[in-house]
């Protein structure tokens, strides 16, 4: 064990066990999660080893992933593991698994959109893994614009079937995870056509493979090829040539087609896309987990790593974590982790409340949940990716190596700003929701409960901060008040500009919005910051009595996140005169004080997540701090180095030998240009 890490761990100001219990959800949940982690012990189950992952081919990595999945499914059935514990177990393997697509996209689609009769037939098969499914929505030519999807499902009266067809190259389903090799079925989104009339996009259950896993006739299916990351998952394409499915494989909880071809309309058209909202909630909830992995590696390494010294009289190099700027980079990441832990739980609770309401026929929260989850997913994933990339750079050359474990996490999470809705599109959708709410408030009409304060927008816009100290500026109520003012001010300015522009714009008010896309996105982002700070402060106060020893450090972290947000957008606050230059100076000084207070606790804040060395798969983020020996030993395992030890010098006989001895010039007539 590194003496540096031992010394750091002994100096943590709070009981790390208490923080672990907060992260895991309480003492009993902590006990259960530790038992779940024990199932992944590589000494008992070598299939879960990740150490050689950087050296195996893509096809072998895929098979290895399936081997892990088979063992996990065995555990799931053996111990009757429920949803939240199943998510934790999958995440704790250290890599993405195909079950994410099956259990958290395919099955929720069936549950949310199938009739009771359909569920009785198909859900047991899916939950038993007798069939394996994926979510097939995105096409080669269309992603976020669902309304323009081209795949068709034409009702055939004579046979009581739907004809599934890809009429163009761009209608090819493209990107669905686990479709290329793993899935037997797909929850497919296609245009419903009855007697030549287009009823828009609807979900269908389509079988992809038959005996011996062979693709069924009329189905052209394959892999989309190597990706930036996520390469153990078989993202693929599928193209249909007049594939018939029974009528009862249209998912008919909402929309229905009767035997005579009569179509009935759902009570709320967007209810059919609830799976995407669930996916966004999952992403928001899991951002903290992935960023915590990266920060765990970086902070441990930054304690081991020595560089430079502060005086000529001090021959010892300094621990790099003692440099203020590195603290600023890494500790801001810590503030994101713990602030987002609260917003993740808040978003999950809101989603579950809405889900229950929809099941009871109440759609009153649907628009709110869609808009809020869209904005939060966009902001959370953007901030996490920025922090991950900055953390990689903060680790220097060793961070760039796959042996650090950081690139693999970055590569996996790089998809998050794109999947379940492109962030730009989602911001714009949130913006439209905010514009409508403000217009309603301005004209005395009802507003969503989450935006009821807009009715008092005139008072909000007139307010200016009266705080004079750090304590007053970072008071939870002042934080919420400041960000409420900020997003309301941006929103009011946007509405004013839209009204002015619409008077001369050829397409009027709606057309004017295209000239203010940047402003709409900025408004959505500001609103999302407000939601995050509100939920984080409310969440922190709710656990104050349960976790009194970690409350102070969590308060510092939320204050740091908030203060960095103010500094980031200080120009807007200054232009609006909500804050003055003295306030900004206080925030800047306060941030530096936060870094000093967090420094002794940094190791505890990452150790509390209890990531195993196997899950991190990092030479520089090991719990024992044995960084440099591990880097050297892992490098020796590279197949090219092993070949050299066998006396095989790759590239020498093939190419370099001829360069060294000049053979490559034989027969070439030299001439001047």
Catalytic site residues?
420
Task: List, in sequence order, every beta strand (DSSP E) within 353-406.
Answer: none
User: Distances in Å between the alpha carbon of 277 and those of 112, 134, 421?
Assistant: 12, 16, 9
* Crossing angle (nearest 10°) for helices 83-91 and 58-79: 150
Closest CA to 516 of 532, 503, 531, 499: 499
For 614, phi then psi, to 5°, come to -70, -40
Distance CA 97, CA 209 (A): 20
> Residue 528 in contact with residue 375, Cβ under 8 Å?
yes
> Residue 512 in contact with residue 498, Cβ under 8 Å?
yes
H helix or E strand, kind and range, residue 660: helix 657-661
> Which residues on adjacent β-strands are paired with residue 246?
161
Exposure string for 51-78, b = 16+ CB within 10 A, e = fewer: eebbeeeeeebbebbbebbebbbebbee
Please report, in angstroms and rounded to a whole number, the separation of the first and last CA atoms in the chain: 64
253 Cα distance to chain centroid: 29
Question: DSSP assignment, residue 106?
Answer: I
> Residue 603 in contact with residue 12, Cβ under 8 Å?
yes
Could you give the count of Cα atoms lying within 13 Å of 393 in the half-sphere of its Cβ?
9
Q: What is the CA radius of gyration of the chain?
A: 28
Distance CA 247, CA 623 (A): 56
What is the sign of the dihedral through the CA atoms of 411, 412, 416 and 422? positive
3-state SS, residue 238: strand
The length of the chain, given as a count of residues: 673
297 Cα distance to chain centroid: 19
Q: Which residues contact 159 (CB under 8 A, 6 or more apart)?
A: 244
Closest CA to 426 of 528, 347, 340, 510: 528
Distance CA 181, CA 160 (A): 30
> Residue 635 in contact with residue 403, Cβ under 8 Å?
yes
Q: Residue ranges for the binding site?
A: 138, 177
> Residue 406 in contact with residue 391, Cβ under 8 Å?
yes
Q: Residue ranges for the binding site for FAD?
A: 138, 177
3-state SS, residue 164: strand
Closest CA to 527 of 560, 500, 494, 496: 494
Distance CA 266, CA 272 (A): 9
Conformation bin of residue 410: beta by default, left when phi > 0, alpha when psi is -120 to 50:
alpha
């Amino acid at each position: 064990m590194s003496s540096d890490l031992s010394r750091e761990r002994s100096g943590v100001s709070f009981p790390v066990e208490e923080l672990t219990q907060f992260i895991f959800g309480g003492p009993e949940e902590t006990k259960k999660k530790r038992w779940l982690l024990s199932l992944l012990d590589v000494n008992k189950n070598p299939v879960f080893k990740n150490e050689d992952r950087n050296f195996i081919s893509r096809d072998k990595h895929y098979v290895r992933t399936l081997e892990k999945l088979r063992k996990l499914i065995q555990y799931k059935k053996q111990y009757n593991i429920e949803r939240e514990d199943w998510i934790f177990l999958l995440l704790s393997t250290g890599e993405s698994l195909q079950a994410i697509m099956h259990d958290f996209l395919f099955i929720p689609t069936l549950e949310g959109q199938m009739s009771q009769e359909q569920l009785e037939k198909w859900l047991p098969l899916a939950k038993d893994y007798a069939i394996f499914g994926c979510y097939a929505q995105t096409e080669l030519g269309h992603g976020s614009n669902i309304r323009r999807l081209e795949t068709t499902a034409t009702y055939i009266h004579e046979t009581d079937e739907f004809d599934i067809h890809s009429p163009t190259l761009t209608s090819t389903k493209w990107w669905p995870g686990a479709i290329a090799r793993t899935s037997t079925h797909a929850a497919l989104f296609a245009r419903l056509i009855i007697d030549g009339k287009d009823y828009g996009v609807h979900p269908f259950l389509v079988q992809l493979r038959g005996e011996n896993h062979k693709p069924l006739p009329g189905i052209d299916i394959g892999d989309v090829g190597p990706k930036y990351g996520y390469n153990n998952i078989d993202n693929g394409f599928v193209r249909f040539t007049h594939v018939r499915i029974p009528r009862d494989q249209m998912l008919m909880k909402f929309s229905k087609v009767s035997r005579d071809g009569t179509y009935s309309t759902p009570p709320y058209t967007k209810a059919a896309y609830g799976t995407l909202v669930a996916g966004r909630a999952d992403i928001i909830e899991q951002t903290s987990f992935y960023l915590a992995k990266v920060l765990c590696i970086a902070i441990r390494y930054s304690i081991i790593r020595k560089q430079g010294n502060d005086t000529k009289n001090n021959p010892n190099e300094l621990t790099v974590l003692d440099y203020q700027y590195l603290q600023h980079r890494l500790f801001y990441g810590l503030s994101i982790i713990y602030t987002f832990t609260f917003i993740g739980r808040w978003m999950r609770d809101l989603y579950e409340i809405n889900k229950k309401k929809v099941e009871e026929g109440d759609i009153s929260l649907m628009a709110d949940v869609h808009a809020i989850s869209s904005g939060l997913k966009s902001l959370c994933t953007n901030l996490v990716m920025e922090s991950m990339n900055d953390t990689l750079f903060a680790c220097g050359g060793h961070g760039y190596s796959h042996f650090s474990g950081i690139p693999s996490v970055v590569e996996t999470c790089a998809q998050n700003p794109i999947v379940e809705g492109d962030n730009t599109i989602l911001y714009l959708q949130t913006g439209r929701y905010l514009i409508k709410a403000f217009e309603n408030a301005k004209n005395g009409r009802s507003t969503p409960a989450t935006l009821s304060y807009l009715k008092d927008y005139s008072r909000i816009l007139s307010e200016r901060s009266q705080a004079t100290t750090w304590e007053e500026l970072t008071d939870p109520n002042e934080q919420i008040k400041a960000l409420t003012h900020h997003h309301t001010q941006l929103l009011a300015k946007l509405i004013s500009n839209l009204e002015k522009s619409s008077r001369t714009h050829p397409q009027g008010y709606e057309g004017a919005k295209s000239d203010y896309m940047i402003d709409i996105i900025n408004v959505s982002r500001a609103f999302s910051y407000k939601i995050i700070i509100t939920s984080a402060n409310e969440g922190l106060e709710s656990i104050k009595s349960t976790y009194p020893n970690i409350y102070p450090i969590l308060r510092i972290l939320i204050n740091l996140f908030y203060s960095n947000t103010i500094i980031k957008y200080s120009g807007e606050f200054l232009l609006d005169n909500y804050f003055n230059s003295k306030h900004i100076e206080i925030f800047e000084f306060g941030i530096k004080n936060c870094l000093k207070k967090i420094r002794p606790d940094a190791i505890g804040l990452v150790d509390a997540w209890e990531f195993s060395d196997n899950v991190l798969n990092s030479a520089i983020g090991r719990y024992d701090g044995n960084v440099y020996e591990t880097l050297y030993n892992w490098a020796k395992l590279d197949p090219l180095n092993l070949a050299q030890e066998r006396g095989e010098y790759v590239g020498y006989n093939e190419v370099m030998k001829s360069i060294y001895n000049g053979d490559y010039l034989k027969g070439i007539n030299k001439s001047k240009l």
